[in-house]
């Protein structure tokens, strides 16, 4: 069930960006792994961090930051995975790791999960850069 949840490092970055929604799991600390149960931020002590599901995290970016992460496939002989990020205000794509020009090109991914993880990292990075 661990694979449903955002890993510790990204959960911590989401916390710093203000993610504060009820979750099904939390990281007890960097090393102690996931604990399960309905939880809100005020339930947690010390190093514990809310662990959103991937879909919760993506929904949060759509709702709070108007950034929608989309995964898509390309036919490279076999199916490979890519992602793009759309600004919901302007309806424009602001990032595409495959079709995008220049330094946004990072190739394809072998699995949906890899693509999902990289898309989430990019969403976090975009907001972190805005805040700095």
Least distance (Å) between residue 30 CB and other proteins = 23
Nearer to other proteins, 12 or 71 (CB): 71
Written as six digits, the tokens of 3 are 């694979």
Nearer to other proteins, 113 or 128 (CB): 113
Least distance (Å) between residue 4 CB and other proteins = 6
Nearer to other proteins, 43 or 128 (CB): 43
Angle formed by the axes of helices 54-65 and 8-16, to 10°? 20
CA distance 130 to 132: 6
Q: How far, CA to CA in Å, does 105 sit from each of 42, 84, 118?
A: 40, 11, 13
Residues in the chain: 132
Helices (H) and strands (E) in the chain, counts: 3, 6
Q: Which residues make up the interface to other proteins (CB under 8 A)? A: 1, 3-4, 21-24, 36-38, 53-56, 62, 68, 70-73, 75, 77-79, 86, 91, 112
Least distance (Å) between residue 86 CB and other proteins = 6
Residue 69 φ then ψ, to 5°: -85, 130
Nearer to other proteins, 49 or 56 (CB): 56
Least distance (Å) between residue 106 CB and other proteins = 19
């Amino acid at each position: 069930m661990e694979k449903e949840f955002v890993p510790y490092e990204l959960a911590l970055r989401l916390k710093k960006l203000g993610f504060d929604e009820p979750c099904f799991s939390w990281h007890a600390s960097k090393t102690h792994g996931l604990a399960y149960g309905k939880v809100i931020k005020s339930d947690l002590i010390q190093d514990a961090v809310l662990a959103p599901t991937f879909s919760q995290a993506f929904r949060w970016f759509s709702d709070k930051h108007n950034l929608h992460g989309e995964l898509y496939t390309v036919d490279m002989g076999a199916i490979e995975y890519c992602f793009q990020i759309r600004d919901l205000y302007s309806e424009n794509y602001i990032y595409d790791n495959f079709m995008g020009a220049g330094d946004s090109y990072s190739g394809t991914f072998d699995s949906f999960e890899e693509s999902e993880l990289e898309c989430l990292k990019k969403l976090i990075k975009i907001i972190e850069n805005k805040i700095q």
